[in-house]
Structure 1
């Protein structure tokens, strides 16, 4: 029993001299050397050299594919690939829709070398957790597994990225259609607000899912965008030279030639209102609220993206200041109970079920918005409360205490998330794919600390100079005001 209990401890390994312990919370249990082979540790190494080995390393192979890694000295490793082939590039460079999300569906669903059952069985034997996620600009493949199984894990990864089983196309398309029908109301509105902001045929506004996508569309999309110069192989908890060798063995022989297409796309903010009539979705695993609700989202555009670190720091701080969540949140440290949408909106309006700030950041354009929910007959008053929350920040500077609290919370979120191996892996992969390098964490923290109350006020005031985008979903949308009325309500004049 004692041996089984020790296996449940976190795989994070701390090294104190030559003694190794597993840690979880405040408990420390000596490692069982019969469970795992301990790492070799040279106590003569200086701390400076040890820190240097933990820094990220990058190698660009002859094919153009980039290999990035960071050593974490744990028994678990996260390896994966990120491809700059999101739906925005599909729309702008292939002229199709739906193929990008099909890549996510076909990931880990078998390959040309083995079927889905064999692939999943072998992943289980490796102690692997499989994941794939499609976004507007990138597709991320990931496998989290025991460090000793990196070689077979890289083989599975290469097959999933470069050799998906197209015979599963129709089955996957049906599964994606089903998952779309089980989306929450908040997820539906978050997609609609992008369509409202950029238009239904734009790279950022087009729907991710297309029921009419064909195998030919999918193959043309992959042949165009799955180019070596758009792929980054990333690993955390892995030796860099080892990762480079496995990439050369399992990826390079099957890579298509470089397409050398631009990694930019044109997008224009064209604010509109998108209303979708529909019944309250039944979300698996959640209690069904029989009462009909209307969910709205109001967003403003910032004409810059990831590459403007200082401006994005202000935008993120505004989101933290607004905060919000559900009316029945349990609270507790770090839950944002002192944020504006809690103290000024949710606490004083019991009829509002939810109010939460959100941001969408892309390469050249970003959105700041608020999503909220209430009964349909309160829809006009709900929009009024949302507009007032934004106006208050634009008209009056936040207090020094409120600003410092938001800074502390934002920095805490950044640092605490980077303690996760999987989040560290994703951050490393996405930054190299987006910037070509990794922004030091200290730069992010300094950018947050440099934000003043005037910066926050000026940013929101400038955003409100342009009309907002608006989206709503629910069975009864008859109580919603027009977009011109919403824009007038939001105006600072």
Structure 2
């Protein structure tokens, strides 16, 4: 029997329609329901459509009692829910689309599915059932997901870059909110019960934290009705407040000189990984686009690329560091923008014996951004940012991801023309101003590798950055 014919009966029909406020902007139409949910559609005339559910849930939402719940929630999407069991879910998936993609950020997650346009309603129902009606009553399914996560824990030791960035967030924000360690331990997963998961989903997966986006939709009003019939929430439950995150800065290191097994065939192994960051504008700050231009301007790269040379070779960090310092393995500018915090800094890796040289390079590079650029560099970075934006939006899933995350974070529709205008409005003076303002804050330094010989005083490191910004030798 074709299961797709039965999917439409998983949810009761004839439900009351909630009050709606609808905004049309360019090709995109957004409806705001009175329960806080946002629904966006647009018709891109492509043969394949896509559906995405974007939820403000992640490790930031966890507490000491719910460590690991967001990871279990992501994995549980393929298990049984209150509407359909796992076997039928897999069968339906084979009819309606090729896969479900899950992407988890520290404070939000996306669940997307690509399918033919005529299967969009069914795909929406499947995602709604999996995300809002998970059933943790079957202990075998819950144990399977937990064991899968536990088996993946040893693999994290093979990714020192990820370990370094976890240290960075812990040092920058403490051990709560954005500073929570995404690298949970086996004991954390083992102690999560079915009731803990049910309570976590009920308090965190709420309509005011959800945005639903679908492409290839010509009848927006009809799709809004479909979404309302699919997504059901307990009327008496309120969303748990998002834990606030305050930037504190500081230094966190982990001495380790044992070379891990590498995922990459040609990866260097005897390396120290280091991140030097400063507080930056939040995702809603008007200067966030300036930070994006700075990131493109500094860029970076690796001393060896398995795909051949050419990646980032014209950026400042590649030309001034990678091509000049033979011992440097990799260096790049990295940014992170959250709802109430942001980070901008430089990450690098080098042989253990060059750890002090690596810190010196990071200190100089982040302290002298405004001294080493011209309007030509800023224009080049803006063009790179524009090309990246258009390249991402050239694919169905890329366009959907960007639209969904933007709607979830900013609660409004933004057109390409508006984004282009924001990028083009960034000036040389803006880049100099923001890069100078950022280094006035307290730095955060994270090191995974050889920590011998490095200063343990974050204040001294900041003084070195300030000296570099004033043109003095570091």
- What band does the TM-score fall into relative to the shorter chain? 0.7 to 0.9
Following the alignment from structure 1 to structure 2, what is the Cα–Cα distance between the partners of residues 379 and 470?
13
Following the alignment from structure 1 to structure 2, what is the Cα–Cα distance between the partners of residues 150 and 452?
43
Change (3 A) 1:380 1:368: same
- Residue aligning to 2:59: 87
Q: Quick one: which of 102, 110, 113 aligns to 2:72?
A: 102
- Residue aligning to 1:435: 410
* Length, aligned pairs only: 430
- Residue aligning to 2:456: 482
* Contact preservation (8 Å) 1:228, 1:257: no
- Residue aligning to 1:173: 146
* Contact preservation (8 Å) 1:80, 1:140: yes
Q: Displacement, 1:237?
A: 1.6
Runs of 4+ in 1 over 6 A off after TM superposition: none
2:117 paired with 1:137 = no
Following the alignment from structure 1 to structure 2, what is the Cα–Cα distance between the partners of residues 438 and 281?
45
**Runs of at least 5 residues in structure 2 that lack an aligned partner in the other structure:** 1-23
- Residue aligning to 2:229: 249
1:215-230 equivalences under 5 Å are 215=193, 216-230=195-209
What is the TM-score of this pair, normalised by structure 1?
Answer: 0.81
SS of the residue corresponding to residue 182 of structure 1 reads helix
Q: Quick one: which of 422, 425, 431 aligns to 2:400?
A: 425
Q: Quick one: which of 234, 248, 253 aligns to 1:270?
A: 248
- Residue aligning to 1:408: 383
- Residue aligning to 1:360: 336
- Residue aligning to 2:10: none
Change (3 A) 1:116 1:352: farther
Change (3 A) 1:306 1:263: farther
Change (3 A) 1:53 1:319: closer
Change (3 A) 1:112 1:281: farther
SS of the residue corresponding to residue 179 of structure 2 reads coil
* Contact preservation (8 Å) 1:358, 1:371: yes
Following the alignment from structure 2 to structure 1, what is the Cα–Cα distance between the partners of residues 466 and 26?
50
Following the alignment from structure 1 to structure 2, what is the Cα–Cα distance between the partners of residues 272 and 53?
44
Please provide the CA RMSD for this pair: 2.4
Write out per-residue CA displacement over residues 217-237 of structure 1, whole angstroms, 9 at most, x where no aligned residue. 322221112122222221112
Change (3 A) 1:397 1:354: closer
- Residue aligning to 1:292: 270
Following the alignment from structure 1 to structure 2, what is the Cα–Cα distance between the partners of residues 258 and 352?
57
SS of the residue corresponding to residue 381 of structure 2 reads helix
Write out per-residue CA displacement over residues 192-236 of structure 1, whole angstroms, 9 at most, x where no aligned residue. 211111112x20101134342512332222111212222222111
Write out per-residue CA displacement over residues 342-395 of structure 1, whole angstroms, 9 at most, x where no aligned residue. 01100011111100110010012110011111111100001111111112214x
* Contact preservation (8 Å) 1:397, 1:457: no
Following the alignment from structure 1 to structure 2, what is the Cα–Cα distance between the partners of residues 320 and 264?
31
Q: Displacement, 1:289?
A: 4.6
1:266-345 equivalences under 5 Å are 266-278=244-256, 279-284=258-263, 286-287=264-265, 289=267, 291-302=269-280, 304-308=281-285, 310-329=286-305, 330-332=308-310, 335-345=311-321
Q: Displacement, 1:250?
A: 2.2
Q: Quick one: which of 324, 346, 352 aligns to 1:370?
A: 346
SS of the residue corresponding to residue 353 of structure 2 reads helix
**Runs of at least 5 residues in structure 1 that lack an aligned partner in the other structure:** 1-51
Q: Displacement, 1:315?
A: 0.5
Change (3 A) 1:265 1:181: same
Change (3 A) 1:449 1:83: same
1:52-131 equivalences under 5 Å are 55-61=27-33, 63-91=35-63, 96-131=66-101
- Residue aligning to 2:11: none
